[in-house]
A and B are shown apart, each in its own frame.
Chain A
Amino acid sequence: MTNITQEQIMDVIRKANIVKDTDALESDKSLTDQGIDSLDFSSLLFNIEEVFGVEIPDEDIDELLTIDQIQSYVNAKINKN
């Protein structure tokens, strides 16, 4: 069983270059409320898909509001495959 860590998710956010201070992000708060707009969010999901080899359908996006939720989602996807 693979487990993607929160730090790995943070690394992807850094790579996506969508926020000035990645370390200041709170994992249980909405990314939108922390200043990440719709374009940045699309870029983040694209990088998540690319790095972890998962597909995130549009219908799942509404449940991916926080870093914690993204981490859980990616782990569930990877371990399902």
Chain B
Amino acid sequence: MIAISEIGIYIPDTRVSNLELLEKFETDESFVREKIGVVQRARKQPNEKASDLCFKAFENLKEKTSFDHEEIECCIVITQNPDMSIPHTSAIVHGALGLSESCACFDISLGCSGYVYGLSIINAFMLANGMTKGLLFTADPYSDIIDENDKNTALIFGDAATVTLLDESKSGLVPLGFDFGSKGAGYKNLMKTDKLFMNGRAVFNFTAATVPVSINKVLNKLNLAESEINRWYLHQGSKYIVDTITARAGLEPDKVVFDMYEYGNTISSSIPILLSKDLDDFQAGDKIGLSGFGVGLSWASAIFEKNNLG
């Protein structure tokens, strides 16, 4: 059984304060804190690429757990801001980390739903190929594509990367079930041409209408009640959207994790960043819910359980 064993994260030390932009965007501190939920945004160095962020997340992983690089059998990077269009960023990461030549590498092009999709993909890929140790990276440095004068996007996104170690851990998180979906007809509401464009109202409508349904769909599929889930990890799009999903999906607010005040919406890294903080606290049998949503328009929800194999 393949399980989430450990998560390494990298959030750059440099911060850009939203409080210094209140006048520029004709807004106030309570809106920034209570509605967006982002006081400052993490910002990578201009010359840093997605692979550099992945490398630093990997260093954090190695501080938390030990394994031989030779043991890694697959290396997957979720990004839509790769180092370059050719080659895939996972190949660059593979080279930088000195992974084995028998290690499979590929990228997944998804945004904020990417981590949940990625967990299903790597789980299936490892099981299908008899692999026992794999790495799932997330790194989408949006600071390279944000228009700093666009109020719809300038106050939200931060840079970060994560790496999730999946193995045959006896005390990890194992997937119980997933729900996926897409509304491709709405892709123009969140896309990059020169810079990132977001139709905030359309993305809000999509999220409010779709994500609560997806969450309840995966619960129903597994014949689980909301009360049986210990914690919820929703993509940290904004505080407003997390609160909206919580209310519309009927989730117990105290169980919904929220923490993006000090670094912003980190796209596919938002869920694993939250998970990394709680990973050691789960007890055998605990169940957690995940849901990612965004670019595509795309969504994925899942329930995981802490295993208790001894």
Which chain A residues have a beta carbon within 8 Å of chain B's beta carbons? Answer: 17, 37-39, 42-43, 45-46, 49-50, 58, 61
Q: How many pairs of A and B residues are in contact by the CB < 8 Å rule? A: 27
Q: How far is the CB of A72 from chain B (nearest CB, A)?
A: 21
Instruction: Decide if A46 touches B31 in the complex (CB within 8 Å).
Output: no
Choose among B202, B240, B247 the residue with the greatest number of A CB atoms under 10 Å from its CB: B240
B286-308 at interface with A (beta carbon < 8 Å)? none
Complex CA–CA separation, A42 to B204 (angstroms): 7
Q: Which B residues touch A46, using CB under 8 A?
A: 204-205, 208-209
Instruction: Decide if A17 touches B35 in the complex (CB within 8 Å).
Output: no
Interface residues in B, total, Cβ within 8 A: 14
Instruction: Decide if A39 touches B247 in the complex (CB within 8 Å).
Output: no
B243 (CB) vs chain A CBs: closest residue? A17
Choose among A38, A39, A45, A49 the residue with the greatest number of B CB atoms under 10 Å from its CB: A39
B interface, over-half SS: helix
Complex CA–CA separation, A37 to B208 (angstroms): 17
Complex CA–CA separation, A38 to B35 (angstroms): 10
Complex CA–CA separation, A42 to B208 (angstroms): 11
Q: Which B residues touch A43, using CB under 8 A?
A: 204, 208, 240, 244
Q: Which B residues touch A49, using CB under 8 A?
A: 205
Asked whether B100 is an interface residue with its Cβ less than 8 Å from the other chain, the reply is no
Instruction: Decide if B35 touches A42 in the complex (CB within 8 Å).
Output: no
Instruction: Decide if B247 touches A42 in the complex (CB within 8 Å).
Output: no
